[in-house]
Structure 1
């Protein structure tokens, strides 16, 4: 590996100081952060990182050099005061558009580790909270603009250890931990499967399995529908010093829903931050995938409110709660406010219903004779009995607005029905009708799970079919797949580094492993598909 350090001249900009070929001795690579040795060579060139099989992913270990990322260039070094005092080293890999930043906390705070976030859409600039969290946990932070894949992140991780060893003046082993959520979970899993000796642990979280979109968001909206008013007391129960019983004070319906959403993946301890769990600050009320579902499964709303087996028709307290949230009224337009170009800007209405919070109604314009004209976008003002027309409304619909007599339908049935969508969408090939513990029939909609691009008529896809592996071959370092927790709140040996919450003081397992009979032949497929299959078979076992 060649390393270049570019330092700025006072008046002429960056210049090349030199090139260093890494010297490998006793398994530790030491690189000066400020001085290079032009022309220096090691006795033997390190091996290149190569695929274990033709056409497969590149296998990266601690000693090989990735030929695509073999020349890191440092182009900026500075001491930064915020969010915590740290030493930032910035650079790029020559011949690529990939950049990196290393954020080194003060030497007295560092405890021999680094944390590295991966996500397809991040750039090389770490969030202040991540830098601060790393420093508070005795770690420096590594971040790249790697996009998809794992190779540039592995190259940056290995190079960061060289720079850190020089900056901190250590020859001790540096422990690295990789983490990523959603799309970053796949990058993390890919790195776990195709590297060895680069990181010491990895945490993939909220993996983007086919059930993730839209169900994981809608499940939280479902919890909000029922438990919004009880959320503060649930939070109090699971918080440090609380009773520890989140079910205390809940009626049977509320207890049932809390059990349901817990089994569907919302950890009880997460309720300590119930505002996030319930999406109380989310502008779309956790229903951001509503349009995708409406396009893929347009018949769902009518089925939900009219057919047996759906919560919309279920004769139960929960069914009554959902029906009570419905607003479906048609009101009369009594006056139209217009701008200087005679374009309508606001509709004054004879009455305005109160729409429950976190539901966004549809607005449909009807002509005075009852003919449907089309949809409008805008904001309803119950106090002023008005509707402010939004910018997304069609010109044809706007031109059809009469000054008097036209009518506006206000209908939130979609947004009330969608939170229950996970109950009727399963990633399996054929639709099935199951029975609940009470013996009541429950509808299961076999709609495409994952990328929502099928019409309602073709609601057939399996979990495995919905997932397409990014790579065709792969390799594991052993026949056991281990998921190692990151010691965020402890040293490498598990000793608490700072005050922890009561449940964090228990010993953390070094790893969680699952046995496999042979190394995987797919970088993602077998592991992820088996996870999906297990999830699919268990998530309705309530």
Structure 2
């Protein structure tokens, strides 16, 4: 560690930090502990360090290949943050943007751990949401300008903060609360409550309640989620309630009323990182509202007491023995988990293992003694014997009796460290089963919960709405000086479309119509999930990239538009939409919809579904139009059999047309049910050879071959 006043000399000159004075008095003197030239992924100077007497760590990537044009681009990691090298990770960079993208946009990349290490709190900062929500990121940005001036000879002229999910919820806080640090922000997939400017309280988050309902639907529906997804997929009958019991219908209807995106029902049964919310908050929820988890089983008005048959069959409360402790790498190398039924388990391990965690960290245990019944997901695992006795974690994913577990604070950092085969654990899921009905008993004022009220009175007994972790920051005021483009996804099963309109309301309240026109835009990405399509489990006959797009090109183009708005005054377009019954509706007309993504439609024999005999050709038609000012179509292709390979591309598309109408024929050589996907890419400059900012959209039809 090189403290302030000393010099770190590796590469192009010496970084001198003695002259830096922190704007925020919480932060001690900055230090550098790594300063070196690197060649991958592009030539750059990497500088790493922190602030003395804090848990804040930062990393700066300064391109040295001539692409830098005077900007700071500062990505914020999702979830709670906690890793200053998240976007230096190849997986994150490929999916969410990293140094290559920042350099293409003329920037250096600046990252911090947002004031904490892992899910632990800063020992001195404690439970202060302002520290993690924006202050640590802001002081990092200020220091980056100071260091950037030494690396490049002059201070960066503009700075931008951006991020998705948890990074999407915190990046607006940065712009609101540190106007000296950034000129613009681009949150995507954010969300949170509206508060008065200057509020310092931890937030109430709708996702806590809504995720609980989604987890309950996952438990209650089981394999029926595949049938529901099929009904709601193109060419399906469109009724998700066919064949469901009364209680299954009630909970699925409640999920829809709370805003779960139509057409994304498959993700009810295959959720991605949403379980992280429970594993990271379970201890806090139990601490904040212990009476609920007792009342659920003991008092009238709660399912656990009134209708125990709805939960009793799933109770798991037993003592078990650890037979093996594994790291994420151990799981990914184990052939046992290559079976299709473990696909989601492997994907989650891959994601969690990529977020800067020590690869040797034991995150998974294999247990003996769980029995044949009982619901594994969400269960608590409390170590009873051995060196780690007393530590409690929660199951975020499992493959039979192999459980991936996480928690908050020190338990998040340690996981199953010091746990050995032969140690005994208590496995108890009763709190998680109670959590499944949390939305009924913790109503927020947001309209998405109106279905659980009659005449403004809650239908069920109520408990105080819990606060989320301080690591999520404070609420939104919508008051800021710079420019902000909010991007949200129509098929996001983690931050539902209902979360996508909250910040617009905050800006309108704080700044009025004129302020919003000057400083705010909202864009929708059609057919995008919370993660890139690769991270979504595929169906046996339908690869995930046939119904979902990868949204990084959309984010990069929107960042470029933000830069042009801030620096050149070029007004960016928004997306027009209707919001009815907690559902976002986009116009099928590109000119009316606006935005920057092509509007696409496909048909088979003139419809969304067709039957055919083996060897009989069907007529496939594709039409697509790019909204005004968003560029032209640069490619159009088809995937016929659900493999996601898109083997057939239309010739003659030269990037000159804003609209295309294309057709082809295809015959199937085997019986089966096929989802045929048409896909287009558009590009702002019509560059057919472009490797970045190629914005996709997809549409599907169903062909039944007998």
Given the two structures, how large is their TM-score scaled by the length of structure 2?
0.40
Query: Under a length normalisation based on structure 1, what TM-score does the superposition of the two structures give?
Result: 0.49
Higher helix share: 2
